[in-house]
Structure 1
Amino acid sequence: MIRILDIIFSMVGLVFGLPFLVVIFIVGLFDTGSPLFRQERVGRYKKPFILVKFRTMAPETKSVASHLADSSSITPVGRFLRRTKLDELPQLWNVLKGEMSLVGPRPCLFNQVELIEERESRGVLKARPGITGLAQVNGIDMSTPQLLAETDAAMLRSLDLKHYFRYIFQTATGKGSGDRVKSGE
């Protein structure tokens, strides 16, 4: 049932969100010259996939987990996109393709070995990664791998339609802060 809802909501989101996607894309052209960010992430069963989102950092920023990136690399437009979570909109395409779900553990990078091991030991990698979930609405990010994996596992054990809608609603209304970025020096 959740996969069917993912397909319906991602299609509706892409169709009705198209004007916003176009505007953000155009603004991104002026902001960074390269509005879309594509990065290989760890998917279900550790299968790699290319995550797509709006670029929030300068294009020359090193490809690392957000908590390891410097906040000075976030552009002013990027700061707004992160705060409003609009940078995540292109991931609706990943959801439609079946690489992600609207609700699930956030997909990590392959170089985040500790997080992958923690998730694998708890069965988290058997689920589709998601745009949001229990960890995200509670401000838990990838800088705390064990806590994140424990939270992801707890979410997956109790994930039903009620929780699915709750996490989406909480994210849409601004609960959670997104991935932490270290302060500039």
Structure 2
Amino acid sequence: MIRLFDIVFAFVGLVLGFPILFLITFIGFFDTGSPMFRQERVGRNKKPFVLVKFRTMKKDTVSVASHLASANSITAFGYFLRRTKLDELPQLWNVLKGDMSLVGPRPCLFNQEELIDERELRGVLRARPGITGLAQINNIDMSTPRLLAKTDQKMLENLTVAAYFKYILMTVAGKGAGDRVPGKN
């Protein structure tokens, strides 16, 4: 049932959001010269997939988790995109393809071994990663791997259709700060 909701909402979001996606892409060319960001992430059952987002950091920024990135790497427009969570819109394509769900544990990088180990221990990696979830609306990010994995596990064990909609609505309403970068949140 949740996969069906994912497909419908991702498709509708991409169609209705096309003008916004186009505008952000256009502005992104002036901001960084390369508005789209692609990065290999840990997917369901540790299968790699390529996550797409709007670029919020300078092109030459080292590929690390947000909490390890330099605040100076984020552009002014990128800061706006992160605060409004508009940088996440292209991930609707990942949802439509089946790499992600709207709700699930945020996909991490393969070099975040402590988080991967904690998630594997708790069965979290058996689920599709998501754009938002319980951890995101509670401002729990990847800087606390054990807490994040425990929160992801709790969310997955209690994920109902009602909870799915609750997490989406709370995210759209602005609950949670988005990915933390030292000195920017």
1:24 partner amino acid: I
In structure 2, the residue matched to 1:164 is: 164
In structure 1, the residue matched to 2:176 is: 176
Q: Distance in 2 between matches of 1:152 and 1:145?
A: 10
Mapping for residues 17-96 of structure 1, pairs under 5 Å? 17-96=17-96
Uncovered stretches (5+) of structure 2, i.e. residues with no partner: none
In structure 2, the residue matched to 1:113 is: 113
In structure 1, the residue matched to 2:133 is: 133
Alpha-carbon deviation of 1:182? 1.6
Q: Distance in 2 between matches of 1:168 and 1:119?
A: 22
Q: Distance in 2 between matches of 1:35 and 1:173?
A: 25
Q: Distance in 2 between matches of 1:11 and 1:108?
A: 24
Q: Distance in 1 between matches of 2:52 and 2:179?
A: 16
1:118 partner amino acid: E
After superposition, the CA RMSD in angstroms is 0.7
Q: For residues 24-79 of structure 1, give each alpha carbon's deviation from its aligned partner in whole angstroms, at most 9, with x where no partner exists.
A: 00000000000000000000000000000000000000000000001111000000
TM-score (norm 2): 0.99
Alpha-carbon deviation of 1:178? 1.2
Q: Secondary structure at the match of 1:140?
A: coil
1:29 partner amino acid: F
Q: Distance in 2 between matches of 1:132 and 1:148?
A: 13
* Aligned residues between the structures: 184
Q: Distance in 1 between matches of 2:33 and 2:160?
A: 41
2:99 partner amino acid: E
Alpha-carbon deviation of 1:183? 2.4
Q: Distance in 1 between matches of 2:106 and 2:14?
A: 20
Q: Distance in 2 between matches of 1:90 and 1:179?
A: 16
Runs of 4+ in 1 over 4 A off after TM superposition: none
Identity of paired residues, percent?
71
